[in-house]
């Protein structure tokens, strides 16, 4: 059968815009496709919620591809290993409480599992702002403002577009970008000790890993922080190349939001 380039174009446009249109009113929008965002996205989509994940880069995976310092092996602690094995990522026990996995296998499989669970992935798409509304007298995040990453990178003066979302997960890692934008542009008080972003502290893996999960919560009505962004928001430590806390944070934020969505 001869190939018609115009039909190829039509197939791309139809496929993409069907996905886009079904994302106009989301249950959950996730910003950032690192280990925490991917895990949260997969678990929420598995429960049947309308979930989309926005990733600035072309590839999903955030900081997990390179293990530690490009030595592409990841380490997780025992209590989080199920979040790798549940999706078929082989792990090997190392000493008592540690497990290792191939960083590339882990990254690609977490991404694949999220896609196959029904997450609508928009890669090459940056979230540049949020939508704020007053609901019952309380300001709340009700959507996201997105723009194509090449537009952002080239500094082109092109307006973004807007999608609605019942909940937003800030999973942008160390940068905590969405939250910084919210605080910079608006007179708002976060659910943190100072009411602002506390910032990240230096390396202390043991405390940081526990705190990542504790700090995974609703920081502003409608907006949850997960992964490294949770510690950067609440003023805890960095943990370096151990990824269990990221996975457990994704699991926690998914459970908390699912409970709220189920009412
Ligand atoms: O940094 P990242 O992997 O986030 P994470 O899930 O995991 C952190 C670990 O990788 C590691 C660590 C502990 O082991 O400290 O750093 O918390 O992934 C964050 C993703 O968000 C994307 C960014 O490109 C990256 O892939 N991102 C950041 N800002 C935006 C964004 C934005 N405004 N819009 C879309 N994507």
**Amino acid 243: pLDDT:** 98
Does the C-beta of 32 come closer than 6 Å to ligand 1?
Answer: yes
Q: What is the SS3 assignment for 6? A: helix
Domains present along the chain, CATH in parentheses: 15-66+103-262 (3.50.50.60)
Beta strand pairing call for 237-238 and 201-203: parallel
250 ligand 1 Cβ < 6 A: no
Annotated binding residues, written as ranges, equal 36, 55-56, 63, 127, 157-159, 174, 228, 238
Q: What is the pLDDT of residue 10?
A: 98
Protein residue with its CA nearest to atom 9 in ligand 1: 63
Tell me, what's the pLDDT at 33? Answer: 98
Report the pLDDT value the prediction gives residue 189, as an integer from 0 to 100: 97
- Determine which residue's CA is closest to atom 11 belonging to ligand 1: 63
Burial class (CB in 10 A: 0-12, 13-18, 19+), 153: exposed
Residue to probe by mutation, ligand 1, list 30, 36, 63, most atoms within 8 Å of CB: 63
pLDDT in tens, 118-165: 999 999 999 999 999 999 999 999 999 999 999 999 999 999 999 999
Q: How confident is the model at residue 99 (pLDDT cuts 50, 70, 90)?
A: very high
pLDDT of residue 165: 98
pLDDT (tens digit per residue) in 51-64: 999 999 999 999 99
Q: Has the ipTM of the complex gone over 0.95? A: yes
Ligand 1 centre from 55 Cα, in Å? 9
Q: What is the pLDDT of residue 50?
A: 98
Ligand 1 atom closest to 178 (CA): 33
Predicted confidence (pLDDT) per residue in 178-236, tens digit: 999 999 999 999 999 999 999 999 999 999 999 999 999 999 999 999 999 999 999 99
- Contact present, 58 and 124 (Cβ < 8 Å): yes
Q: Which atom number of ligand 1 is nearest to the Cα of residue 229?
A: 17
What are the phi and psi torsion angles at 119 (to 5°)?
Answer: -70, 135
For ligand 1, is residue 175 a contact (CB within 6 Å)?
A: yes
The mean pLDDT of 247-261, rounded to a whole number, is 98
pLDDT tens digit string along 171-180? Answer: 999 999 999 9
Residue 158: which H helix or E strand, with range? none
């Amino acid at each position: 059968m001869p190939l018609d380039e115009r039909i190829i174009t039509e197939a791309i446009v139809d496929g993409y815009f069907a996905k886009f249109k079904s994302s106009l009113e989301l249950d959950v929008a996730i910003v950032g496709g690192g280990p925490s965002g991917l895990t949260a996205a997969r678990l929420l989509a598995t429960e049947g919620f309308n979930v989309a994940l926005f990733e600035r880069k072309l590839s999903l995976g955030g900081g997990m591809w390179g293990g530690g310092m490009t030595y592409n092996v990841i380490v997780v602690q025992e209590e989080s290993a199920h979040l790798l094995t549940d999706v078929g990522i082989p792990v090997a026990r190392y000493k008592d409480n540690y497990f290792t996995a191939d960083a590339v296998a882990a990254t690609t499989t977490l991404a694949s599992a999220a896609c196959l669970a029904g997450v609508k992935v928009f890669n090459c798409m940056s979230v540049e702002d949020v939508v704020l509304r007053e609901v019952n007298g309380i300001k709340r995040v009700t959507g996201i403002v997105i723009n194509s990453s090449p537009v952002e990178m080239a500094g082109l003066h092109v307006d973004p577009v807007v999608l609605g979302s019942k909940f937003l997960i800030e999973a942008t890692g160390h940068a905590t970008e969405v939250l910084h934008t919210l605080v910079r542009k608006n007179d708002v008080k976060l659910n943190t000790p100072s009411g602002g972003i506390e910032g990240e502290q230096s390396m202390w893996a043991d405390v940081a890993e526990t705190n990542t999960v504790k700090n995974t919560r609703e920081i502003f009505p409608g907006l949850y922080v997960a992964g490294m962004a949770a510690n950067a928001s609440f003023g805890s430590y960095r943990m370096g190349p151990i990824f269990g806390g990221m996975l457990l944070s994704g699991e926690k934020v998914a459970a908390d939001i699912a409970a709220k969505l189920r009412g």
